[in-house]
Chains A and B, each alone.
Chain A
């Protein structure tokens, strides 16, 4: 069964450094998402991406964040200058509403630790 894959599984970085989290969505899916979960808190929506552009973003997704689909298979989340409060588990997800509306397929997550 196809799965969403994410790399790295864990990244430790210094405050102020740039981080890129990578995701390979399921190949025939059209919508792509990033969510994050700060330890002990709920899963929060960051951004959705469709047709090579952001379709919706939350207030968390400020100018420090960007997303890209550079080569038709990868979907990346970049944090330009990390802050301590960016430490969280970041989940990538993809969906194809034409088949089962509302079903997002999640990756296993990338744990980001900012020191």
Chain B
């Protein structure tokens, strides 16, 4: 069975400071990892996925298979980054079933 762990429920960071949201997973195969974000009063939406190796809104995430981690990072936080962030895992079975972590609420302090 797969599991996604986000150890921090709440994280507050000053504007301009670096941000790191932690995500660890457990799965025996080769999963696909994602970060989803939910801004205030908006729907859950995809932020980025590990296979794209892209930077979205300044955020990046590297899949570390040795540490089974997929931490989300941004070098300089902005106020508009305040949101709920969810790490998610797809076992890659061809079905897009996602297992979510419990989420981290990120607050950027002006």
Question: Residues of A with Cβ closer than 8 Å to B?
Answer: 3-4, 31, 33, 35, 41-45, 48, 50, 55-56, 91, 95, 97, 100-109
A112 and B101 alpha carbons, distance in the complex (Å): 22
Apart from A43-B44, A45-B97, A102-B49, list 9 A-B contacts with CB within 8 A. Answer: A31-B96, A42-B102, A43-B98, A45-B98, A45-B99, A102-B46, A102-B96, A102-B98, A103-B49
Chain A positions within 8 Å of B90 at CB level: 102
Residue of B nearest to A106 (CB): B44
Given that A42-B103, A102-B90 are known contacts, is A108 also in contact with B43, CB under 8 Å in the complex?
Answer: yes
Q: Are B95 and A55 in contact (CB under 8 A)?
A: yes
Residue of A nearest to B38 (CB): A106
Q: Cβ of B25 < 8 Å from any Cβ of A?
A: no
Q: Cβ of B26 < 8 Å from any Cβ of A?
A: no
Going nearest first, the 3 A-B pairs with the smallest beta carbon separation are A43-B100, A106-B44, A42-B102
Q: Return the contact of B96 from the options A33, A42, A91, A109 (Cβ within 8 A).
A: A33
Q: Cβ of B85 < 8 Å from any Cβ of A?
A: no
Q: Return the contact of A42 from the options B32, B95, B101 (Cβ within 8 A).
A: B101
A101 and B43 alpha carbons, distance in the complex (Å): 19
A33 and B90 alpha carbons, distance in the complex (Å): 14
Contact-size category for B? 20 to 34
Chain A positions within 8 Å of B95 at CB level: 31, 48, 50, 55-56
Show 6 residue pairs from A and B whose CB-CB distance is below 8 angstroms, ordered by the A residue: A35-B98, A43-B44, A43-B100, A45-B98, A95-B96, A104-B98
Q: Are A101 and B100 in contact (CB under 8 A)?
A: no
Q: Cβ of B70 < 8 Å from any Cβ of A?
A: no
A95 and B99 alpha carbons, distance in the complex (Å): 16
Residue of B nearest to A46 (CB): B97
Looking at the assembled complex, report how far the CB atom of A57 sits from the nearest CB atom of chain B, in whole angstroms. 10
Chain B positions within 8 Å of A43 at CB level: 44, 86, 98, 100, 103
Chain B 48-60, CB-CB to A under 8 Å as 1, else 0, gives 0101000000000
